[in-house]
């Protein structure tokens, strides 16, 4: 046995090569479309498999699971979900301007509902897919390659006769690159192709006379038409998309905004997000003009109704929706495709050029094959016509021959040995016969009814037609103008049969400007109940229900509607809760969890103190931890905070705050520990420090003891607590120095 050879190599080089190989595999074999047919490998394989299975537009639907399984077993060994997802998208008319698959069953909805499982849905090819994408595959127009296990052959590209990469667009994420090509109108793109074939030197601006801009299946408006030329020149840029709206009269003199078409980017979960965003604008009081929103979309199309209050400024509300929701959105264009085996970003004219070059290649291969077939047919027809002229001699040869081979040898080479002739003249004439191999086979297989006079006339007529076809094919192949004319006629016939009107409007609309109305500052009552639900009342509601509100409230504040609440937690965080974010409700309504209106997370922290920002910045706050550390922070340190959450005070490892409150200079502080030690100190003992300081020792703790409570004593007010069933008046305790151990009770 030969010794193993150890190959030493640089690890980084090996990794680099392996990663490049992987990246190129993803780019070429999975994520990016081919510039010629505009299809990714999985799409191409699904369509070819359906073609092979004979699932045509005029035949019954077949189970999607059958298509997926056959495609995976023969051509695409990457899992059934990627194949079925591709099949579904090609059947969705709200994603594809030109659906390539005719789906039967639940193939999802524009609102984001997923397709049913593949065992429930059925599919077949669309008519245009058969006639424009898969036709002529039997004429050797494209190359075939072995499949993954070399048991089948699959086309490297489909002979698509329209620029599918522009008509259906494409989206895909590869390694280090992504493609995003918007869909376009079939009729316009075909007009652009024809114009390019007549003038190959045309500019992007000239091409845009035919291809006005993207045409999304969801309609809507492209609002930055003035930027399209730059986008189409480079293949990169951003489209500004808007939904279409109508104004309808509502009840009692009110008006409704009706969204009838949505931006392409809103397909799926985007519609639900739009509804939530509009509701959020109302809840956060950004606008008071919207009274209700409902999604009434159905089979007839999109219909989202936004009801406005009487006298609302409709234009201002529309501008708010464009500015704050996805009713106006951007679509990033990056026209990246695989060209000559490598990824390339292409502008509009180069994409059309690649398509036209591909059409010339297809036409050359198609008419070369057809010409050869016509010449073969001509040869046979000439033989049959010649045979009809000497049919008596041929019958004599056939009757005198012992075998088919003997008869064929006579017809092709004039070999007469072994054949019985009626006369020497016949034998002499037979020796002069020089049919070709193909002609001889046709003569030997010819049926007697072909000798009828009408059949002979039909044969001569067919021969003339064959000669005309040969002349036509020869002209197309030898004359580029003739080939161009043929391609143009083909494109015109496709346009005539499959063209649809444009859905997307191309326009120049300036960006929306929303003027926020100044908020009228008023006094409100904010209540937080024992379940930490917050709700807001106007003062009149508070006065009418004062007793019930105060009974139910854990925290209760009278504050300005422009003010903020500061939520201090045991973890040292301070969360901001704007009064504007708290819903104004009726007394019996539930309100909103403060977790939803702020960054507070009740599963990870506990609230120790809540205060109004305008009050806190005028006060001094006392912070005490379970490890006995204490300090005072000036409230001005929390002023001008714009973030929703900040660190209110630094904490040591494993420590937490047990007490936070505003203090006065004449207050006393009492510590209480788990082991029932009490220590009373004067507030003057506690130094004022910055937020980032840990604090100073307030009480000395024995091992395994910790502070459980801190009490603030006000002058003239007795504070009583219970210890082991006995009442203790805290004011009776002796005032000690800070950091003492205290007295056990």
Helices (H), 499-569: 539-544, 546-552
> What sign does the CA torsion over 273, 176, 172, 168 have?
positive
- CB-based contact 530:240 (threshold 8 Å): no
For 189, which DSSP code? H
Q: Following DSSP, what letter does each residue of 77-115 receive, concatenated?
A: -S-HHHHHHHHHHHH-TTT-SS--EEEES----TTSPPP
Q: Give CA–CA dist 635/622, Å, rounded.
A: 10
Q: Which residues pair with 240 in a beta bridge?
A: 330
Q: Match 């120049």 to its residue by tokens.
A: 508
* Residues 6 or more apart whose Cβ sits within 8 Å of residue 500: 97, 185, 186, 187
- CB-based contact 150:64 (threshold 8 Å): no
Distance (Å) of CA 578 to CA 132, 191, 434: 60, 57, 103
CA count, 13 A, side-chain hemisphere, 186: 22
- CB-based contact 430:397 (threshold 8 Å): yes
| Beta strand segments in 373-516, E | 505-506
Tokens of 458: 């039909």
Q: Match 């009801």 to its residue by tokens.
A: 307
Q: Match 């000559």 to its residue by tokens.
A: 340
For 336, which DSSP code? E
For 140, which DSSP code? T
Judge whether 22 counts as a catalytic residue.
Answer: no
Nearest to 97, CA basis, from 336, 350, 267: 267
Chain-centroid distance of CA 224 in Å reads 22
Q: Match 């009726």 to its residue by tokens.
A: 586
Nearest to 367, CA basis, from 375, 357, 378: 375
Chain-centroid distance of CA 40 in Å reads 16
Q: Give CA–CA dist 673/742, Å, rounded.
A: 10
| Beta strand segments in 141-269, E | 144-146, 153-155, 170-173, 178-181, 221-222, 236-242, 244-249, 255-261
Q: Give CA–CA dist 163/491, Å, rounded.
A: 10
Q: Is 169 left (phi over 0), alpha (psi -120 to 50) or beta?
A: left
Nearest to 215, CA basis, from 234, 190, 195: 190
Q: Is 268 left (phi over 0), alpha (psi -120 to 50) or beta?
A: left
> What sign does the CA torsion over 225, 230, 231, 232 have?
positive
**Taking every pair of C-alpha atoms in the chain, what is the biggest distance, in angstroms?**
153
Distance (Å) of CA 45 to CA 51, 73, 103, 366: 10, 11, 17, 22
Burial level of 718, CB count in 10 A (0-12/13-18/19+)? exposed
> Other C-beta atoms within 10 Å of 703: how many?
4
Catalytic residue, candidates 19, 48, 84, 120:
120
Tokens of 550: 């105060």
Tell me the catalytic residues: 120
């Amino acid at each position: 046995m030969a010794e193993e050879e150890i190959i030493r190599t640089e690890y980084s080089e090996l990794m680099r090569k392996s990663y490049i190989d992987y990246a190129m595999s993803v780019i070429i074999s999975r994520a990016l479309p081919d510039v010629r047919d505009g299809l990714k490998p999985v799409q191409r394989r699904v369509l070819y498999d359906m073609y092979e299975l004979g699932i045509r537009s005029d035949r019954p639907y077949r189970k999607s699971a059958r298509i997926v399984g056959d495609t995976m077993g023969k051509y695409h060994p990457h899992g059934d979900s990627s194949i079925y997802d591709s099949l579904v998208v090609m059947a969705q008319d709200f994603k594809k301007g030109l659906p390539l698959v005719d789906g039967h069953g639940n193939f999802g909805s524009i609102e984001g509902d997923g397709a049913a499982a593949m065992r429930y849905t059925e599919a077949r090819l669309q008519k245009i897919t058969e006639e424009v994408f898969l036709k002529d595959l039997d004429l050797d127009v494209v190359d075939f390659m072995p499949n993954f296990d070399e048991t089948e052959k699959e086309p490297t590209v489909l002979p698509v006769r329209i620029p599918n990469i522009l008509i259906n667009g494409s989206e895909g994420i590869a390694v280090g690159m992504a493609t995003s090509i918007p869909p376009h109108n079939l009729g316009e793109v075909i007009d652009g192709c024809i114009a390019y074939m007549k003038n190959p030197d045309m500019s992007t601006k000239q091409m845009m006379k035919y291809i006005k801009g993207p045409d999304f299946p969801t309609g809507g408006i492209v609002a930055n038409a003035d930027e399209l030329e730059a986008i189409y020149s480079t293949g990169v840029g951003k489209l500004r998309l808007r939904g279409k709206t109508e104004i309808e009269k509502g009840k009692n003199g009110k008006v409704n905004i009706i969204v009838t078409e949505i931006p392409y980017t809103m397909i799926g979960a985007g519609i639900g997000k739009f509804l939530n965003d509009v509701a959020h604008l109302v809840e956060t009081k950004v606008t008071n003009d919207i009274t209700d929103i409902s999604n009434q979309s159905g089979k007839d199309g999109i219909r989202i109704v936004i009801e406005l209050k009487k006298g609302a400024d409709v234009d201002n509300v529309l501008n708010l929706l464009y500015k704050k929701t996805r009713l106006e959105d951007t679509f990033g264009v990056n026209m990246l495709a695989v060209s000559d085996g490598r990824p390339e970003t292409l502008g509009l004219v180069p994409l059309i050029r690649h398509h036209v070059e591909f059409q010339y290649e297809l036409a050359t291969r198609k008419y070369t094959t057809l010409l050869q077939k016509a010449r073969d047919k001509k040869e046979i027809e000439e033989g049959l016509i010649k045979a009809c002229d000497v049919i008596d001699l041929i019958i004599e040869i056939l009757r005198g021959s012992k075998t088919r081979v003997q008869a064929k040898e006579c017809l092709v080479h004039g070999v007469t040995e072994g054949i019985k002739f009626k006369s020497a003249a016949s034998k002499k004439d037979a020796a002069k016969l020089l049919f070709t191999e193909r002609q001889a086979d046709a003569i030997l297989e010819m049926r007697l009814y072909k000798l009828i006079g009408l059949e002979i006339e039909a044969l001569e007529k067919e021969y003339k037609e064959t000669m005309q076809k040969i002349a036509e094919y020869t002209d197309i192949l030898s004359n580029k103008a003739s080939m161009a004319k043929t391609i143009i006629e083909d494109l015109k016939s496709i346009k005539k049969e499959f063209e649809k009107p444009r859905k997307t409007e191309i326009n120049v609309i300036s960006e929306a400007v929303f003027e926020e109305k100044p908020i009228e500052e008023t006094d409100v009552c904010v209540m937080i109940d024992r379940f930490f639900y917050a709700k807001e009342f106007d003062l009149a509601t508070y006065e009418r229900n004062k007793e019930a509100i105060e009974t139910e409230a854990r925290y209760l504040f009278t504050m300005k509607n422009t003010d903020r609440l500061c939520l201090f937690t045991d973890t040292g965080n301070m969360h901001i809760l704007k009064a504007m974010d708290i819903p104004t409700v009726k007394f019996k309504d539930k309100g909103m969890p403060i977790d939803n209106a702020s960054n507070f997370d009740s599963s990870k922290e506990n609230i120790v103190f809540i205060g109004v920002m305008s009050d806190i910045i005028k006060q001094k706050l006392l912070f005490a931890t379970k490890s006995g550390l204490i300090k005072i922070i000036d409230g001005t340190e929390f002023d001008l905070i714009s973030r929703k959450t900040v660190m209110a005070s630094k904490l040591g490892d494993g420590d937490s705050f047990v007490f936070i409150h505003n203090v006065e200079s004449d207050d006393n502080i009492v510590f209480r520990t788990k082991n029932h030690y009490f220590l009373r100190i004067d507030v003057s003992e506690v130094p004022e420090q910055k937020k980032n300081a840990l604090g100073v020792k307030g009480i000395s703790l024995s091992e395994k003891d910790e502070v459980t409570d801190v009490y603030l004593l006000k002058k003239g007010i007795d504070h009583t607590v219970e210890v082991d069933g006995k009442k203790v008046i805290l004011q009776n305790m002796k005032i000690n120095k800070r950091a003492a151990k205290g007295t056990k009770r």
